[in-house]
Structure 1
Amino acid sequence: MVALKEALARNGGLWIGCAPEQREAPSNELVMHQRPDFDIGLFELEPPLYRDFYLGYSNSVLWPALHGRVDLIDVKPRYAKAYRDVGRRLARLVAGAVNDDDVIWVHDYQMIPLAHELKALGVKCRIGFFLHIPMPDLQTFKAIPEWQDLARCLSDYDLLGFQTRRDLSHMINIFRNTLRGELRANGTMGISGREVALGSFPISIDVAGFRELAASGADKVSPPPLPRLIGVDRLDYSKGLPQRLAGYEAFLETHPQYRSRVSLLQIAPPTRDDVDAYKAIRSELESLSGHINGRFGTVDWTPVQYIHRALPRTELAVLYRLSRVGLVTPLFDGMNLVAKEFVAAQDERDPGVLVLSQFAGAAEEMPEALIINPHDPHDIAQAIKTALDMPLSERMKRHSALYAHLESHNVTRWSTAFLKQLTSVERIGPDGVAPLPGSTPWSRTA
């Protein structure tokens, strides 16, 4: 969310989001909060609706499906109804707050139906959508019971943005096979009489700002006594945390000379504790950490330091800078900004090495990292050894290339590129809208 705040602070506008506290009698209007940089409008939900919309459909259906974990999908009819109802309610609130010449930028999987609902109310703004998490292939997408409805809702946006070329190609294939979409030479898709623009817009960070944050903080902190490996992830089954620990265990097992000579700091703040899948991953991670420490630890050395809480961004920046190896091992990820933060935080005179999953969106942009298969613990183990043994000259060369790319592809470029394309999209059809073939979205479950 840091990237969005920086974009809004620069361009101005209104941030609309869900209120953090639920109410039995939610307001029928946006609850406004004025700030010096941009205003915030919050929409309120009653507890049962919030539970079924957010913990239910958003994070027990869409999140696992879009991350390829169809085995974790929890289908309940009330979840889909809540998701649809929230989209309609929010559309009514947004429609009353915008003018025809405004630009609406919708973010992420929780809000997919919003453009459809807004256009049904007669809103004529340009509406763009950016998916922060992965878009899976067609067969995985079809595991979502409402997959056709979701595809139709996505086609109602004027511009669809994705993190990677991989996700973009998946969306094109879904449109081709669901709505008979036709790819144009200019990169748009023709769908039932209107054009939908699509593009890859890799999200990034304030590279210079994060670098300064790390450098200024590191001057006040002593370096760790041992070379440190670091992982920073929300506690989520998509992040490959058990696989990371399995790789670290394989490293200690096959390279005993490194025992008592390195340490792993894993920071995994809690998230969505009310969802069963997240309770399971927490239990597994705590068990694995204890297992490794019990197997290899000594009175004077703890192989794994595990922190199950969030740390301030200022503290994280310093931890990155003072770490020799950054471990980013998701099983499937839209981008993963931790990889970019780790690179930005490094001291270019003595930089650490990034070990990066081939399934992270960041891998498309960061080939100078050590790219690994997170499902192979021996691949992770070998990458850790390679990173620790890497000569300074090679570390500097790899870091220089990575940093140069990040410097020219920062968060400003990301938001500017998306908004520039959204405002320049040619809109075809009456009022920019044409009816889609077949039933209207959600008609099967209305």
Structure 2
Amino acid sequence: MSRLVVVSNRVAKLDSTKSGSQGGLAVGVAAAMSKAGGLWFGWSGKIESAQRSEARVETAGNIDYATVSLNQVEYNQYYKGFANSVLWPLFHQRPDLMSYREVDFEGYLSVNEKMARLLLPLLRPDDTVWIHDYHLIPLGGLLRRAGITCPIGFFLHIPFPPLDLLRTVPRYRELITALMEYDLVGFQTDVDYRGFQFSVVYGLGGEALPDNCFRYRDYECKAGVYPISIETDTLREVGKTGEASEEFKRLEQSLTDRQLIVGVDRLDYSKGLPQRLRAYENLLRTQPEFIRKVVYLQVAPVSRGDVKAYADLAHQIDEQVGHIVGTYADFDWVPLRYLNRGFRRNTILAMYNLASVGYVTPLRDGMNLVAKEFVAAQDPDNPGVLVLSDMAGAADELDAALLVNPYDSEQVTQGLAEALSMPLAERKERWQSMMAVLRDNDIHHWQERFLEDLGQFR
């Protein structure tokens, strides 16, 4: 039987209760690998000056974890530089925050070459290699040129940009060509797939062939839509274990029957937190019947704090939070609780179940597993309501949520008011519709679909 080899920027050992601040890639890949097992290869997250000539391998259960370190220059150029100061803002439609330097692009290529070099000794002829996300776009081609012939697939967890945005990267054709070197390329949504199709045909001058295949010169690949998901049927039980945590008990006791609005996001400009806070303040200002009746809890662990755009965002949000609390708080009520730290995943899931409203309004998001986890954590007899940005990939599947345009503050405010006032029968109907979707496409179905299609290239 073929061994699954997963390659991602970071390797994260997760269990079902660990930190809720982990991103969708770490949670999704860990859940998928828990069933299949195999080798998980990537960066350890450590910056070390001494360079090892081989990956460090540890085994836990049915997974071998192989990790490599980066030195400070590699981190600055590959991770902080090109990956997160060019690709991340660009793919999330924020070219104004992009900071391109040729030295960073070269560093990006160099680290991918290092990853390929250290992965090669660990590979077997019958492996299936599945590479994840924007940090490692060139890796598949590097493995091919090193002689690897087994199936190699790539999955992009974040959005794929329109060609007009992609062209703002000076060497964008190299990125598209690198994707063409995979057997199978997976995207979250049809919009992302169409962006790739347009880029191949008009950006490279390639061809779109039948059966979702593409050709450019000697390169030929297949692409498809594979929306990532969650462990749908187990999250409710995991959330129940979180009700025993001290944090949950204190939160529940402090609400004193007030309705809870909850948001959980990494502190990132793609998540639309300033716009979200503005809409909530607008709710308190224009619909005073909610004053003292609701509490908004926003969990936002710091993300990439050494990148200037993130430091600027943190300062802006701190000012907004202070303004809302200072304007509307009373002796025995604070309308907004803002926490810059993560919590155990089971505690977060318990908080979702306690909440009347899940507040998930990114400006752009590849999928957003918080939206799916909020739905799966609900009590079937008394479910909360999901207010969801139509700019999140999850909106394609969770169309029974209250979908809002995150740029339209008044519409988001109205969505909050509607969610807080929604009758039980409608809440149940919407929840049942979304749960049916999540049961049909859970994390294991996502993995099986992708790997089955990738297996056709063996």
* Match status 1:4 vs 2:29: yes
The equivalent residue for 2:89 is 64
- 1:16-415 counterparts in 2 under 5 A? 16-218=41-243, 221=249, 222=252, 224-225=255-256, 226-415=258-447
Following superposition, the deviation at residue 425 of structure 1 comes to 3.4
Following superposition, the deviation at residue 193 of structure 1 comes to 4.0
Q: What is the distance in 2 between the residues matched to 1:272 and 1:45?
A: 16
Q: Deviations for 1:325-383, whole angstroms, at most 9, x for unmatched residues?
A: 01101001000000001000110101100000010000000110000011111111100
| Contact 1:30 1:93 (8 Å CA) reproduced | yes
Q: What is the distance in 2 between the residues matched to 1:332 and 1:256?
A: 30
Structure 1 unmatched ranges of 5 or more: 427-446
Q: What is the distance in 1 between the residues matched to 2:220 and 2:73?
A: 38
Q: What is the distance in 2 between the residues matched to 1:352 and 1:8?
A: 30
Q: What is the distance in 2 between the residues matched to 1:161 and 1:425?
A: 15
CA RMSD between the two structures: 1.3
| Contact 1:218 1:322 (8 Å CA) reproduced | no
Q: What is the distance in 2 between the residues matched to 1:13 and 1:191?
A: 32
Q: Which amino acid aligns with 1:151?
A: I
- Select between 374-383 and 21-30 the one with higher mean Cα deviation: 21-30
Q: What is the distance in 1 between the residues matched to 2:166 and 2:71?
A: 30
| Contact 2:189 2:225 (8 Å CA) reproduced | yes
| Contact 2:212 2:222 (8 Å CA) reproduced | yes
Paired residue secondary structure (1:351): coil
**TM-score, with length taken from structure 1:** 0.93
Following superposition, the deviation at residue 219 of structure 1 comes to 7.5
Q: Deviations for 1:131-181, whole angstroms, at most 9, x for unmatched residues?
A: 000101001111122211111111101100011111011001000112222
Q: What is the distance in 2 between the residues matched to 1:254 and 1:267?
A: 25
Q: Which amino acid aligns with 1:146?
A: R
| Contact 1:335 1:360 (8 Å CA) reproduced | yes
The equivalent residue for 2:15 is none
Q: Which amino acid aligns with 2:367?
A: M
Q: What is the distance in 2 between the residues matched to 1:34 and 1:319?
A: 33
Q: What is the distance in 1 between the residues matched to 2:357 and 2:35?
A: 34
Q: Which amino acid aligns with 1:5?
A: A
The equivalent residue for 2:21 is none
Paired residue secondary structure (1:96): helix
Q: State the percentage of identical aligned residues.
A: 40
Q: What is the distance in 2 between the residues matched to 1:297 and 1:12?
A: 50
Paired residue secondary structure (2:233): helix
Q: Deviations for 1:287-306, whole angstroms, at most 9, x for unmatched residues?
A: 11111111111111111100
Q: What is the distance in 1 between the residues matched to 2:67 and 2:41?
A: 6
Q: Which amino acid aligns with 2:428?
A: M
Paired residue secondary structure (1:208): coil
Q: What is the distance in 2 between the residues matched to 1:145 and 1:179?
A: 14
| Contact 1:218 1:321 (8 Å CA) reproduced | no
Q: Deviations for 1:382-421, whole angstroms, at most 9, x for unmatched residues?
A: 0011111111000000001111110111000001111110
Paired residue secondary structure (2:60): coil
Following superposition, the deviation at residue 190 of structure 1 comes to 2.3
Q: Which amino acid aligns with 2:68?
A: F
Q: What is the distance in 2 between the residues matched to 1:181 and 1:77?
A: 26
Q: What is the distance in 2 between the residues matched to 1:23 and 1:216?
A: 37
Following superposition, the deviation at residue 254 of structure 1 comes to 0.9
Q: Which amino acid aligns with 2:66?
A: G
Structure 2 unmatched ranges of 5 or more: 1-25
Q: Which amino acid aligns with 2:425?
A: S
Q: Which amino acid aligns with 1:322?
A: L
Q: Deviations for 1:27-53, whole angstroms, at most 9, x for unmatched residues?
A: 011111122220011122211112211
| Contact 2:77 2:107 (8 Å CA) reproduced | yes
**TM-score, with length taken from structure 2:** 0.91
